[in-house]
Amino acid sequence: MASVTRAAFGELPSGGGTVEKFQLQSDLLRVDIISWGCTITALEVKDRQGRASDVVLGFAELEGYLQKQPYFGAVIGRVANRIAKGTFKVDGKEYHLAINKEPNSLHGGVRGFDKVLWTPRVLSNGVQFSRISPDGEEGYPGELKVWVTYTLDGGELVVNYRAQASQATPVNLTNHSYFNLAGQGSPNIYDHEVTIEADTYLPVDETLIPIGEVAPVQGTAFDLRKPVELGKHLQDFHLNGFDHNFCLKGSKEKHFCARVHHAASGRVLEVYTTQPGVQFYTGNFLDGTLKGKNGAIYPKHSGFCLETQNWPDAVNQPHFPPVLLRPGEEYDHTTWFKFSVA
């Protein structure tokens, strides 16, 4: 069983409203989520000695989340990841988005779903957040009703995303938590063993837009089908890090996506999803300038993200999985984060 407690987290400037924090607790996990951006601010997991550590990067106060920061723990929308040159067409009509990561549009625009106050509803084992994204918000067509539900079941945090559109629009929702299974504030993730269940990945251009090819991982640095120790793997292949979409099973059913094992603590994170892809990101843009929880600093490679989602720039690449949501349809995807010790 999980318990849910509710408290104020902070006040938005100039009367913007109260941000609340919801604490979900089971015998194995404790998760804090705030109504600003549906953001996971803390996630405590025990190690094999039974000692709990917070394994997500973030801030203790609301001010941290209101500054310029790399989407720590937040829900991303209306479209996660990059849209080439911030333009796309729907039914022959061209739409233009803000270019907030030159020369592309990233993570929903200047004020995406991560930078708005959501309406919460407490459930018996979690919390559901909802909002209506108005027609034209950040340049996207149509009104979008969105529900994001977090529930806790033992060692498993389940995130469900639902949406309904008043006119055809691309939709791609994810959560941008940065994990470090040694505990947030640990200097790097090099001692993490990573497995990703993907036979193919998407090569990208210098602006991180997929070039259109769906490439086999076989014989490349992107073959993570058997566990690799991250630090050694990056060294062996002379990689700056990962920031790539891995192509998962094409089914809408729950499928295994990734497993990360931290041998020293024994902590294991397994990710399952209904989504066709996962962006594996190793915190390459972190630079140690942000002050996190308990005085932590977050240098490059001090956290990793497993952003389950549709493929980047799918709205401009017809052979990628469909990303348009039309009136009368429902967007409905779930991702499971399962924690254990080994």
Please identify every residue annotated as catalytic: 176, 307
The answer on whether 81 is annotated among ligand-binding residues is yes
Cα–Cα distance for residue pair 315/324, rounded to 1 Å? 7
* CA proximity to 76, closest of 115, 127, 50: 115
The answer on whether 178 is annotated among ligand-binding residues is yes
Which residue type does 258 have?
A
* CA proximity to 20, closest of 7, 38, 4, 29: 7
The answer on whether 176 is annotated among ligand-binding residues is yes
Whether residue 120 contacts residue 301, with contact meaning beta carbons closer than 8 Å, is answered with: no
Joined tokens for residue 77: 């929308």
Residues 6+ apart with CB under 8 A from 219: none
Cα–Cα distance for residue pair 115/68, rounded to 1 Å? 11
Which residue type does 322 have?
P
Residue found by looking up tokens 């995130």 in the block: 159
Q: What residue ranges in 135-183 does DSSP mark as E strands?
A: 144-153, 156-165, 169-170, 174-175
Which residue type does 174 have?
T
Cα–Cα distance for residue pair 54/45, rounded to 1 Å? 6
Joined tokens for residue 34: 């705030």
53-62 b/e with 16+ CB inside 10 Å = b? bbbbbbbeeb
Residue 330 three-state SS: coil
Q: How many CB atoms lie within 10 A of CB 315?
A: 23
Q: What residue ranges in 209-310 does DSSP mark as E strands?
A: 215-216, 228-229, 243-247, 255-262, 267-273, 277-281, 305-309
Residue 86 three-state SS: helix
Joined tokens for residue 244: 């790539």
Binding-site residue positions for beta-D-galactose: 81-82, 176-178, 243
Binding-site residue positions: 81-82, 176-178, 243
